[in-house]
Amino acid sequence: MRLTFHIWRQPNTGAPGKMERYESANMNPDMSMLEALDVLNEELMGKGTEPVVFEHDCREGICGSCGFMINGVAHGPQSKTTVCQLTLRHFKDGEELYLEPWRANSFPVLKDLMVDRSAFDRIIAAGGYVSVPAGSPQDANALLIPKTEADRAMDAAACIGCGACVAACPNASASLFTGAKISHLGLLPQGQPERNERALRMVRQMNGEGFGQCGNIGECEAVCPKGITLENIARMNADFLKASVCERPKSGAAEDAA
Amino acid sequence: MKLDSRIPGGPIETAWDRCRFENKLVNPANKRKYEVIVVGSGLAGGSAAATLGELGYNVKCFCFQDSPRRAHSIAAQGGINAAKNYQNDGDSIYRLFYDTVKGGDFRAREYNVYRLAQNSVNIIDQAVAQGVPFAREYGGTLANRSFGGAQVSRTFYARGQTGQQLLLGAYQGLERQIDAGRVTMFPRTEMLDLVVIDGKARGIITRNLVTGAIETHVADAVILGTGGYGNVYYLSTNAKGSNCTAIWRAYKRGAAFGNPCFTQIHPTCIPVSGDYQSKLTLMSESLRNDGRIWVPLKQGDKRSPSQIPENERDYYLERRYPSFGNLVPRDVASRNAKAVCDEGRGVGETALGVYLDFGASIQRLGEDKIRERYGNLFEMYQRITDENPYKVPMRIYPAIHYTMGGLWVDYQLQSTIPGLFVIGEANFSDHGANRLGASALMQGLSDGYFIVPYTLGNYLAGTQLDKVSDSAPEFQAALSGVQDRTKQFLNINGSRTVDSFHRELGKIMWDECGMARTAQGLESAISRIQSLREEFWQNVKVLGKNEEINQSLEKAGRVADFFELGELMCRDALTRNESCGGHFREEYQTPDGEAMRDDDNFSHASAWEYQGDNVTPVLHKEQLEFHYVHPSQRSYK
């Protein structure tokens, strides 16, 4: 099978980039998109051209490393599929493909199709956790959690942090990512003590990173490889609103420390 | 080199308690004075870094991925074992310990395994407290399933994403410490050497994968949680970036390498489809709970599976192992799949595959029930193969999945280099010659949350650590070594890509040091690897420069180390004249083709000591003693 690729080449964050055109006749419909790039890269290196840089690791759709735009769609045409599991059988022989990195100010391009998503880590660091030191918990079954709640928390927790939601959003909003973590922990009893603080800090961090506001367009949900739903953004907004209204200066902190 | 396992001795049930009591403590006010390096951010490294940060140490954590959340632990599907006995089905710490020692074919250290079984219950408590959304029953209690050959239901799971959820728990704890300023994270940074001063591990040399900067990091202790080395085979279920460089550099600095030939081949992976194949995808072995494995009775039967009547199918696992059937341990299931394919009864285009058939279960339980249990796995299978497993049996074949071998460690998880601790899959671990399903997550978290935080304190409190700086000659020598090697890769300017060498190495390893091994094959593999390695250093092509993102350069360093490790694996397999667990030497089998252990001569862990490049390493042996679980032939009949 023959494909023509137009791929964004950019040597580093500061340098200008441009689309380059490559052709390969050595494609196979059973290959994944990343294997197609492997084959293309081997061909490029044979000609002395530097290979296309793209991020990838597990290649089974769970680590969240990979992702780029294919013909303007984050992760390409197949729903709930990352580019590492997207096979070429979804494309026609002779088709032209346009591959571009995630586009968002908060995700600077590092090289070619690779971007810097460290803003996501900083959003999690701002409260996307339950503060529980190793060794302190009670027996796991002492806490009963209704199956429906646990299942809904799991739905939200399935986020792989790939960044497709940001790339697909016209405002480059990170609301789906942030909302998924706020929902996952907020739906569980373990997450209640820090629920308000979490919503305040994570949303403020998200805004501080320069992500845009959510306009309820739903592009994020449409491209999410794990099917994270807009409902999570609604939960984030509700938690943030409630926490903002309830926010008071911290009390007793000085005595605690003493 | 003297191997001292530092087993506490005495009754096994209280050994870890005694050890913890006897271990020295670091005063809380002094912890912040210690610098600790953790390399790797998976279940072992991530949980260790978070826990040590929480305790008050100054921690630096390194990973090559863009975020600590991407470590390969994330890909574990099936579950995590714990001896909770929530199902009241006869489980206990002792039974988990017994099953693990036996499952490892009596090649693991009893005291370590017992501690692992003890810690298993705390791990579940810890994970639930962090908000890990394990599967639950309608009454709100935790759900369990039986997994990979266990006769009790002790496996906890979060759909088919247990590793992801446990890793996110550890990652979130780690991010909390990063936020609190107790852990400094170095993502996109690869460890390229270990620095040893006065016989103690005192730091590492790293390369920043974005800028190419090669840097020094000084510490009071170094912890490696850098995972396994299955990618030596090129095709494996491991993530593409998983590599042996950190442990291999440590080996070359004096850490003994334990049981390098013990690798695990997972029976249920999607078969290879073509030469372009870059990795293999695992299908959770929980599928074997409801799927029946078969091949046609006749050789070369090319009919579609629906055309083959019941009486012309061979359910070979059910036939050979009536009591365990399709749930025999991984090594047994894999070897049998290879055997039927070798007989010419394999299925699919390549004839390297067997059927995993849900037809009977769908008839018994209905398609909805099967969808509820395995829906996401079925979807994944269909996405990759374009076949609908509700209608057509899945095709599966074994693939390299896990490495039981790794750096040798004592009971305190310290390597033969004082101050160098090794945790998770990177150490030679508690799994002996074969790991049971759902035990890798357990070991990684046990080491990281509950063992190394205690044993590291004991080392720091009991060791005189002189102040060192990176101007020390050892640091400077290691630094220039890494710089020179990097330049060398870029200057060879040959004609073959790194991947083409890696594929060829992988093929040799899979053919000769894979599911079945022979002395002759291993000897030929060693000489073929040596000549391929020579060619690599003459003819590899790495484009670009160091001072930029250069993925070929990263791969070149990893593959160069895989060459050396591959040779050591073959050497280890060659000296182990017996079959045990994942190590099957064709010369040593029972008349009906089962593995034949030789306890008189091989009841030991091998520990290899580096002697220099192109010098045969020295083999040391740690004799294993079995006071509780008496070695017997593993029988699953």
Interface of A with B in 81-100 (CB under 8 A): 81, 85, 87, 89
Is B81 within a domain?
A: no
Exposed / middle / buried, residue B124 (Cβ in 10 Å: 0-12, 13-18, 19+) = buried
B304 in any annotated domain: yes
What does the DSSP 8-state code read for residue B287?
A: G
Pick the last residue of a domain from A111, A133, A152.
A111
**Residue A205 host element (H or E):** helix A195-208
C-alpha–C-alpha distance, residues B335 and B617, integer Å: 30
Q: Which residue of B has its CA nearest to A156?
A: B133
Does A239 lie in the same domain as A168?
A: yes
Q: Which residue from B131, B141, B159 is facing A191, i.e. has the nearest CB?
A: B131
We report the CATH number of the domain holding residue B351 as 3.90.700.10
Q: Contact B66/A118, CB-based, under 8 Å?
A: yes
Task: Read off the pLDDT band of A142 (50, 70, 90).
Answer: very high
Give the pLDDT band (50/70/90) at residue A258: very low
- A61, part of any domain: yes
Residues B478 and B607 in one domain: yes
Measured between alpha carbons, how far is B449 from A165 in angstroms, rounded to an integer? 33
- Nearest CB to A38: which of B74, B187, B278? B278
Our count of domains for chain B comes to: 2
Task: Say whether residue B240 is in contact with chain A using an 8 A CB cutoff.
Answer: yes
Domain annotation covers residue B230: no
Q: How far apart are CA A1 and CA A26, in angstroms?
A: 6
Residue of A111, A121, A188 with shortest CB distance to B175: A121
Same domain, A145 and A238: yes
Position A253 in a domain: no
Residues A165 and A235 in one domain: yes
Walking along chain B (637 residues) 10 residues at a time, the average pLDDT comes out as 94 98 96 98 98 98 98 94 97 97 95 98 98 96 86 92 97 98 98 98 98 98 98 98 98 98 95 93 89 96 95 96 90 93 94 96 95 87 94 96 98 98 96 94 98 98 97 98 98 97 98 96 98 98 97 98 98 98 95 92 98 96 97 82
In a domain, B516, yes or no: yes
The domain containing residue B363 runs over which residues? Answer: 267-400
pLDDT value, residue B32: 96
Q: What is the CATH number of the domain that holds A156?
A: 1.10.1060.10
CATH of residue A48: 3.10.20.30
pLDDT band at A255 (very low <50, low <70, confident <90, very high): low
Is residue A230 domain-shared with residue A123, that is, in the same domain? yes
pLDDT at residue number A253: 57
Is position A235 within any domain?
Answer: yes
Among the listed residues A120, A209, A148, the one whose alpha carbon sits nearest the alpha carbon of residue B137: A148
Angle at A49 between CA A46 and CA A53, to 5 degrees: 110
In three-state secondary structure terms, A112 is coil
Q: Is residue B524 part of a domain?
A: yes
- Is the same domain home to A124 and A79? no
pTM comes to: 0.97
Provide the residue range defining the domain that includes A133: 118-246
If asked whether residues A107 and A122 sit together in one domain, one would say: no
Q: What is the pLDDT of residue A256?
A: 55
Asked if residue A251 is part of any domain, the answer here is no
Predicted pLDDT at B9: 87
Instruction: Flag whether B570 is in a domain.
Output: yes
- Mutation for B interface: A38, A65, A117, most B CBs within 10 A: A65
Cβ–Cβ contact B349 with A under 8 A = no
8-state DSSP, B363: H
Separation CA B389–CA B391 (nearest Å) = 5
The answer on A105 and A123 residing in a single domain is: no
Instruction: Out of B346, B366, B400, pick the residue that ends a domain.
Output: B400
Q: Are residues A138 and A28 in the same domain?
A: no
In tens, the pLDDT along A54-77 reads 999 999 999 999 999 999 999 999
Same domain, B394 and B491: no
Q: How far is B178 from chain A (nearest CA, A)?
A: 7
Residues in B closer than 8 angstroms to A53, CB to CB, are: 549, 551
In percent, how much of chain A has pLDDT > 70? 97
Measured between alpha carbons, how far is B224 from B41 in angstroms, rounded to an integer? 10
Residue B392 and residue B480 in one domain: no
Q: Which of B69, B164, B549 sits opposite A114 (nearest CB)?
A: B549
Domain-terminating residue out of B369, B400, B431:
B400
- Nearest residue of B to residue A59, measured between CA atoms: B239
Please judge whether B129 and A50 are an interchain contact, meaning their C-beta atoms are less than 8 angstroms apart.
no
Residue B452 falls inside a structural domain: no
Count how many domains chain A has: 2
Helix (H, G, I), strand (E, B) or coil at B156: strand
Helices (H), B104-183: 110-130, 162-179
**Predicted confidence (pLDDT) at residue A135 exceeds the cutoff of 90:** no
Evaluate whether B245 touches B192 at the Cβ level (below 8 Å): yes
Same domain (yes/no): A54, A131: no
Report yes or no: A121 at the B interface, CB cutoff 8 Å: yes
DSSP B151: S
Looking at residue B372, its pLDDT comes to: 84
Whether residue A239 sits in one domain with residue A140:
yes
The answer to whether residues A103 and A142 belong to one domain is: no
Do B494 and B585 have their domain in common? Answer: yes
CATH number of the structural domain spanning residue B556: 1.20.58.100
Q: Which of B400, B424, B452 is the last residue of a domain?
A: B400
Domain endpoint, select from A88, A111, A134? A111
Is B307 inside any structural domain? yes
Instruction: Assess: ipTM above 0.85.
Output: yes
Contact list in B for residue A117 (CB cut-off 8 A) is: 66-67
What is the DSSP track for B189-241?
Answer: EEEEEEEEETTEEEEEEEEETTT--EEEEE-SEEEE-----GGGGSSSSS-TT
Q: In terms of domains, do A83 and A174 share one?
A: no
Domain end: A55, A86, A111, which one?
A111
